[in-house]
Amino acid sequence: VIDIRKLYAQTGKFTYDPGFLSTAACQSTITYIDGDKGELLYRGYPIEQLAEHCDFMDVCYLLLNGELPNAQQQKDFDRMVTVHTMVNEQMQFFLRGFRRDAHPMAIMTGLVGGMSAFYHDSTDVHNPKHREIAAIRLIAKMPTLVSMAYKYTIGQPYIYPKNDLTYTANFMRMMFGTPCEEYEPNDVLVRAMDRIFILHADHEQNASTSTVRLCGSSGTNPFAAIAAGVACLWGPAHGGANEAALNMLEDIQRNGGVEKIGEFIKQVKDKSSNVKLMGFGHRVYKNYDPRAKLMRETCHEVLSELGLQNDPLFKLAMALEKIALEDEYFVARKLYPNVDFYSGIVQRAIGIPVPLFTAIFALARTVGWIAQLNEMIGDPEYKIGRPRQLFHGSERRDVKPLAER
Ligand code: ACO
C-alpha cells in the first residue's frame, strides 16, 4: 500500500486511476471482502453465519454499532425502528406529482431526497445525535416509501405500517395487503425477503457507497447523501443488474429457452454486440460471490414453498450458470454469478414486480450507506472528496470576436 497523500505532499505527483481500480479512498472497519476466496464479512462475521442466525434488524445494529446486539439491545433497537416506520402524511402529496408509470427508482430518488424537507432535527451531518436519528428514520421509513411507490404505480391505497409485525413482515404486508383483506405473512417468504435484505446490506466501497461518501463529504444532510446513493444504485452495472438479469432470462426464455443458451453466450462473447451476461462478474470477486450461493439456496426454498420447483426461469438460470462456468471466456476472466443472478428469481416468485427490484436493493443498502457515512464523518482525517484529473483539452487560447470564429 502506498500512501499517495505523502507522495503528493513531497513531489506534487498524483495517480491516474479511472474507475478506482487500485485506489483506496478511505480506511474502513465495516465490511471486508476477500475477492479471491469469495469471502464476505460484516464487522468480522461471515455473511453465511449472519444469514443463518440473525435477522436484518440484528445486521443493521451490527453495521451501525460494530457489535451484534444482546437481547435487551435487540428489543430496544427493534422498538426504536418500529416507532419510526410512518412517514409524514405530506409525503403522499409529493408522491402524487409523479406519473403513475414512473420507475420506482425515479420516485425513490425524489422521496429520499425529499425527506430532508421534513425532518429538520436530523439534517446536521456533523451532529452525532442528528446522524443517529437520521439513521433510524431512513432504515425505518424505506419500506414504507418503497411500498407507497409500488401502491401508487398500481393505483391501490397505501397500507400503513403495523407496529406488532417484524420489520420485514411489515414491509410485505404494506406491499401485498389491501384495506379489504388482511395480509397473512408466510414465514418462508418473509425469511427469504429478510435474507435478501441481509445480503444487500453493505458491500464496502462500491459505486453507490462511494457516491454517498463523496456526496456526504461536502457536509450535506444525510437524506441528500443517501438519495445520491439511490440514484447511483439505479444503473444496470450496479443495483439495476437484478432487474436486467431477470429481463435477460425472460428474453432467452421467450426466444427458445435452454436450447438457445449457446447462441446467447456466443453473442455475449462477441464484444461488438455489447451484450453482457447480467448478474455475472464483479470488480472485487474473482471467485463465486458468497451472496450468490446463499441466494441460490433461498431460491430453492422459496420455489419449493410455493410449489414452483419446476420454474422454467430457475432451470434456465442454473443451466446458463453451468455453461458459463465451463466456458473459457468466463473462466479466463474469472466471471462468476454475483448476488443479482438469482435474487430476481426469488423476488419474482415472492410477487415483487421486476421494476421494484432495485428499490428493494436500495431499502436494504440504506443501512450500509449510513454506516459508511457515519464512519467517514467520525474519522478525524476526513476531508471533502475532491479527485484530481489528467487534463488533455485545449491549451490556453484567446477568445476571437464572433465574426472571426
Ligand atoms: N458478461 C460478459 N463479459 C463480462 C461481464 C459480463 N457480465 N463482466 C465482465 N466481462 C468482461 C469484460 O468485457 C472484460 O473483458 P475484456 O477483458 O475482454 O475487455 C472483462 O470481463 C473484465 O471486465 P470489466 O468490465 O473490466 O470488469 P469491471 O470490474 O470493470 O466490471 C461489472 C464489473 C460492472 C460488475 C461487470 O462485470 C458487469 O458489467 N457485470 C454485469 C452487470 C452486473 O451483474 N452488475 C452487478 C454487480 S454486483 C452489484 O452491484 C450488486
Q: What is the mean pLDDT of residues 28-41?
A: 96
Q: What is the DSSP string of 3-22?
A: -HHHHHHHH------GGGSS
Q: Ligand 1 pocket, 216 CB below 6 A?
A: no
CA distance 113 to 220: 11
Listed residue (171, 316, 197) closest to 251, CA to CA: 316
What are the DSSP calls for 28-96, one per residue?
A: -SSEEEETTTTEEEETTEEHHHHHHH--HHHHHHHHHHSS---HHHHHHHHHHHHTT----TTHHHHHH
Q: What sign for the dihedral angle of Cα 37, 42, 47, 49?
A: positive
* pLDDT given at position 278: 93
Q: Is 289 a catalytic residue?
A: no
Counting from 1 in the atom list of ligand 1, the atom nearest the Cα of 280 is 7
Instruction: Indicate the top mutation candidate among 282, 321, 339 to test ligand 1's pocket, ranked by most ligand atoms within 8 A of CB.
Output: 282
Pocket of ligand 1 contains residue 281 by CB under 6 Å: yes
DSSP state of 98: S
| Atom 3 of ligand 1, nearest CA residue | 276
pLDDT at position 2 over 90: no
Whether ipTM tops 0.90, in short, is: yes
- pLDDT of amino acid 399: 97
Hunting for cell 477568445 — which residue is that? 399
Q: Give SS3 for 259.
A: helix
Q: Using one digit for the tens of pLDDT, what is the confidence trace for 335-364?
A: 999 998 999 999 999 999 999 999 999 999
Query: Where does residue 231 rank: exposed (0-12), middle (13-18), buried (19+ CB within 10 A)?
Result: buried
Q: Give the β-pairing of 31-34 and 39-42.
A: antiparallel
Q: What is the CA(381)–ligand 1 centre distance, in A? A: 33
Q: Do residues 194 and 55 lie in contact, with contact meaning Cβ atoms separated by under 8 Å?
A: yes
Q: What is the pLDDT of residue 5?
A: 84
Share of the chain above pLDDT 90, in %: 88
Ligand 1: does its nearest atom lie under 6 Å from the Cβ of 280?
A: yes
Catalytic residue at 340?
Answer: yes
What number does the ligand 1 atom closest to the CA of 233 have?
50
Average pLDDT over residues 374-389: 93
User: pLDDT tens, 279-302?
Assistant: 999 989 999 999 999 999 999 999
User: 334 C-alpha to center of ligand 1: Å?
Assistant: 10
Out of 300, 340, 392, 398, pick the active-site residue.
340
Cα–Cα distance, 82 to 130 (Å, whole number): 18
260 CB near ligand 1 (under 6 Å): no
CB 43 within 8 A of CB 63: yes
**Over residues 25-37, mean pLDDT:** 95
Mutation probe of ligand 1 site: the residue of 204, 276, 288, 328 with most atoms within 8 A of C-beta: 276
State the pLDDT at residue 4: 84
Whether the pLDDT of residue 333 is over 90: the answer is yes
> If you average pLDDT over residues 45-66, what whole number do you get?
98
Catalytic residue among 202, 282, 311, 327: 282
Residue having the nearest C-alpha atom to atom 49 of ligand 1: 238
Please state, in angstroms and rounded to a whole number, the distance separating the CA atoms of residues 33 and 203: 8
Residue 177 to residue 183: CA distance in whole angstroms:
5
- Name residues whose C-beta falls within 8 Å of residue 262's C-beta, 6 or more positions apart in sequence: 323
Return the pLDDT at 6. 87
Whether residue 7 has pLDDT greater than 90: no
Nearest-atom number in ligand 1 for the CA of 341 is: 44
Does residue 146 line the site of ligand 1, with CB under 6 A?
A: no
Strand partners, 181: 178
Instruction: Determine contact, residues 377/126, Cβ cutoff 8 Å.
Output: yes
Cβ of 336 less than 6 Å from ligand 1: no
Mean pLDDT for all residues in the chain: 94
Distant-in-sequence, close-in-space partners of 285: CB < 8 Å, separation ≥ 6: 33, 35, 38, 336, 338
Please work out whether the CB of residue 107 comes within 6 Å of at least one atom of ligand 1.
no
CB of 264 within 6 A of ligand 1: the answer is no
Q: pLDDT category, 233, cuts 50, 70, 90?
A: very high
Task: Compute the 3-state secondary structure of the chain and give helix, strand, coil in percent, each to the nearest 5.
Answer: 60, 5, 35
For residue 333 and ligand 1, the question of a CB distance below 6 A is answered with: yes
| Substitution candidate for ligand 1 out of 283, 331, 365 with most atoms within 8 A of CB | 283
Beta-bridge mates of residue 40? 33
Nearest atom in ligand 1 to 284's CA: 29
With cut-offs at 50, 70 and 90, classify the pLDDT of residue 174.
Answer: very high
Q: Specify the pLDDT at position 251.
A: 94
pLDDT at 321: 93
Mean pLDDT of 241-270: 93
Q: Give the largest CA-CA distance in the chain.
A: 78
Query: Residues of the chain with pLDDT > 70: what percent?
Result: 100
Determine if ligand 1 sits within 6 Å of the CB of residue 279.
yes
| 281 Cα to the center of ligand 1, angstroms | 5
Mean pLDDT value of segment 315-335:
94
Residue with the three cell numbers 460494530: 66
Q: Is the pLDDT of residue 144 over 90?
A: yes
Among 219-233, 246-260, 376-390, the range of highest mean pLDDT: 219-233
